[in-house]
Structure 1
Amino acid sequence: MAVSLTEAAARHVTKYLSKRGKGVGVRLGVKTTGCSGLAYKLEYVDDVAPEDALFEQHGVKLMVDPKSLAYIDGTELDYVREGLNEGFRFSNPNERDRCGCGESFRI
């Protein structure tokens, strides 16, 4: 099982952690919500939890809680800018459907 991070996402995380002045990386997970059932959650973290699956790419640590890993195995986290919008984009091969607003997905 694996989750990956693009160079663009790693640069953004590194820059944010530097501004923040602390932190070891980001934790990616899923929560139950929205019209399709699941939504991604992403948070900056200061410590690696013992139960976390740990992935490291481009000098950035990416942690995933064990319950979420089954839903996001194979996901690539990217950071994109399109016009005036910018943010993280999740490319998850397990997604079967996404709601119209793009906030939630179904496996």
Structure 2
Amino acid sequence: MRSVESKEPRRGRPFSEREMFQAGHPQVSSHINIKCMKPVVPVLLGPPVPRRDREDTRERYCRSILTLLFPWHSIQDLCDVDQTWQQAFAIRHASITYESCKIID
């Protein structure tokens, strides 16, 4: 995303950082992303995060956690074409903060 600069100093509420979508994004001409001033907890839409202790849901669990905890623009930023989501998760697991690990474990 590209940053959008503020035109001039303003009175009142502090200016929120704004970013434009990358070229090629379907909403590049109609939407911007505004950085939240207060911390927020991201929430996945759809069914709940799958269980990590079941083999039949492990791939979806790894994909969900990587999606929530790591920045990405495309799927390849999280998982290479020739690797499974479990492999991608194993590689990045060491870089998950202690606080986040307590929540997901």
Which structure has more relative contact order (CA 8 Å, sep 6+)? It is 1
Range of TM-score over shorter length: under 0.3
Q: Structure 1 length as normaliser, TM-score?
A: 0.24
Q: Structure 2 length as normaliser, TM-score?
A: 0.24
